[in-house]
Amino acid sequence: MAASSEKRKQKRPAATSEPKTKKARVEGSAATVKSSADKGKKRSQPVTLPVQEENEASSDEGSEQELEEEDDMDVDVPEEGPSQSTKDPNAARESHKVQRALLEQRKAAKPHSDLLVEAKRAWSLARQKSITKEERTKYINALMEVVRGKVKDIVFKHDASRIVQTIVKYGGQKERNEIAIELKGKYKELAQNKYSKFLITKLIRLCPAHRTSMLQEFQGSVMRLLLHREASSVLADAFELYANAYERSILLKDFYGKEAALFSITLGSDEEKEKSKKGLKGILEGADKERRKRVMNAVKENLTTIFNNSDKGAVSHAIVHRVLWEYLAAVNEGEDATEKEKLRREMFETCQEVLAEMVHTKDGSRVVREFIAQGTAKDRKQIVKTIKPHIERMCKDDEAQLVLFTALDVIDDTKLTAKSLVVDVVASAHDLYMSPQGRRSLIYLVSPRTRRHFTPAQIALLAETDSIRAQTSKKDEQLRTEEIRKAASEPLLSWVAEKGVSVARDPGGSLVVGEILLYAEGDKSAASTALLQALASPYPSDDSATPHLISLAHVSRLYKTLLQGGPFSHQTNTVVRSPLWSPLDFALEFVKVVGKDSTLAMAKDDGAFIVVVLCERAQESAELKKELKAWFDATAVKELEQDKERRGRTMLLQQIAAL
């Protein structure tokens, strides 16, 4: 075994310390993108996972490398010391022959050994990467002829499972459906097998016509399968990635208890489908008080089983989050306020320790936001404590960040949120501004729910807890927002003063810098000066790798917005000025720091529109007006008039004339 391992190591290319060329990096990046696209959708990952696991290959595709290593280990090579081969090479050769003969005998003694030998021969041709589509089709057809009618007998062996996976992966829909039909009745067993679980996942994804019948075989065992080491991921992939509304309802039924399952059987197929699509709400429609109580108790018991076995991993699956949200929604529809509070409290106490494992899915995020909105001050403190270690990754997740925003909107104890949430978000600012999700997390601290950066759908999701907040939170909404903004402003302005210039070079980063300067509270002079000093450098830049800031369109828009005093609204066709920003002070500082030479150089080129707005601000200050009038004397105006066709040149000449 050691010799076999050594041989494998020798086959690997030696590592090199030479850096990749730019072309190689681009090609490698393109290959990675293509590879990711080929793999299709992936389940959303919990924010509690270590960072290195986030980009790992999905279990469905990662199986091939695992099994190739095991194939290498099929052949036992006897250990031979260097002295043995030196003394008697013939003895080593004879030993190899004996070992190979024993290996062949063991293989021949296995069931279906002849079939597997023949199948592997055809499979080695069909799985090749560099063959034409026509050649692959020919090899797949030959492979299908070998295994046809015997798939069920061989599929649970790791090597044979890979053979069938290759047919499903490269074969046509006819071959896939044929394999799905052959395996009918074995789907549950396949899901629980270490190797064949990858095959069942492929079939669920690629055989939509048979997907319903596959999932129906899981009925009655969903709870057990979710807690099964191998089957759990199969159900999670099926529910989150591939199933439609009715197919998801098949997996959800086991959570509702036996009575709900029996009730579904008594309905007609069409009626049953329609009710099933509604989930727990459909099951409870028309139910009397006692039956409703029994179904709710069944759901509660099944969820408790999942949460009490959190080490099994099912807590992070979207199917569990869907049932939990359905349960809480059903509780909210109850009539007795005391009973509603009791049921909600019991469920919260059951799952409060694992809430961080739910925030990455749509339903899980909604559950945690519901607990925050409905909870007491003590409950909210517990939730904040649970999610605090994962703040940065939550900021980068579309669903998880909604939990943070709701916490900022709802929790009255702003000292708690400032210390436990805001500090961690701001501390990660330099990593967050690089992604759209991270930028939203930073902007929400100073400008929550702004239509400039949040879609109507996102704002509507956040507004879902507003009605509850009105009943459970005592502090005035505006006061809470101001306190959060104040807590975030000083560290954010310090960050802009220190790194704002480099951040602004990124298109998304320039938006963050603009929002912070316009809407943060406190002394902004250091941040403003840092941005303006970057403009004072010679224009245009001598280094093509780092162009002057004004040569970047998004940075030019940033300075224009700051000189305007706020963003331009296309709805009202006016500039919406921020009450927390003085564009005139920024204009005066602009003249002092940037200076005449750089301003005139920008006016003749890409910075014409910025100088236009600078001249507009001069109408508000006699000092600024006098300074600019001296800069744009007859000689400067004559130079500008030589090329009136350039963008912004006509507007600039008009503003200069008005000085």
Rounded (5°) CA angle 412-413-419 = 135
In Å, how far from its chain's centre is CA 639?
Answer: 53
The token pair at 13 is: 């290319």
Best CA proximity match to 196, nearest among 240, 163, 239, 150: 163
Buried b (16+ CB within 10 A) or exposed e, 493-510: bbbbbebbbebbbbeebb
Question: What pLDDT score does 55 carry?
Answer: 43
Q: What is the DSSP letter of 422?
A: I
Query: Which residues make beta-bridge pairs with 575?
Result: 568
Rounded to whole angstroms, how far apart are CA atoms 344 and 347? 5
Q: Is 185 left (phi over 0), alpha (psi -120 to 50) or beta?
A: left
Coil, strand or helix: which one is 569?
A: strand
Provide the 10 A C-beta neighbour count for residue 552. Answer: 17
Asked whether the beta carbons of 90 and 98 are under 8 A apart, the reply is: no
Looking at 388-465, list the stretches that DSSP marks H as alpha helix, in order from N- to C-terminal side: 391-395, 400-410, 414-417, 423-427, 429-432, 436-446, 456-463
Residues 6 or more apart in contact with residue 417 via CB below 8 angstroms: 384, 407, 408, 411, 484, 487
φ, ψ for residue 267 (rounded to 5)?
Answer: -85, 160
Question: What pLDDT score does 88 carry?
Answer: 63
pLDDT along the chain (659 residues), means of 10: 45 42 41 43 85 46 42 40 54 75 60 72 86 90 89 82 90 94 94 92 95 94 95 96 93 89 60 76 86 94 95 94 96 91 96 95 97 95 96 96 97 95 96 96 97 95 94 93 96 97 96 97 96 90 86 94 94 93 96 92 89 94 92 89 81 89
Best CA proximity match to 373, nearest among 337, 332, 424: 332
The token pair at 371 is: 């607990």
Rounded to whole angstroms, how far apart are CA atoms 389 and 182? 48
Residues 6 or more apart in contact with residue 359 via CB below 8 angstroms: 46, 47, 365, 368, 387, 390, 394, 397, 399, 400, 403
Peptide bond into 540 cis (omega under 30): yes
Residues 6 or more apart in contact with residue 516 via CB below 8 angstroms: 442, 446, 489, 492, 493, 496, 527
Rounded (5°) CA angle 277-301-242 = 35
Rounded to whole angstroms, how far apart are CA atoms 259 and 283? 10
Best CA proximity match to 558, nearest among 609, 598, 592, 483: 609
- By the 10 Å C-beta count (0-12 exposed, 13-18 middle, 19+ buried), 66 is classed as middle
φ, ψ for residue 343 (rounded to 5)?
Answer: -65, -40
Coil, strand or helix: which one is 568?
A: strand
Rounded to whole angstroms, how far apart are CA atoms 308 and 303? 9
Residues 6 or more apart in contact with residue 650 via CB below 8 angstroms: 644
Q: What is the DSSP letter of 648?
A: T
E strands present in 143-189: none
**Tell me, what amino acid is at 342?**
K
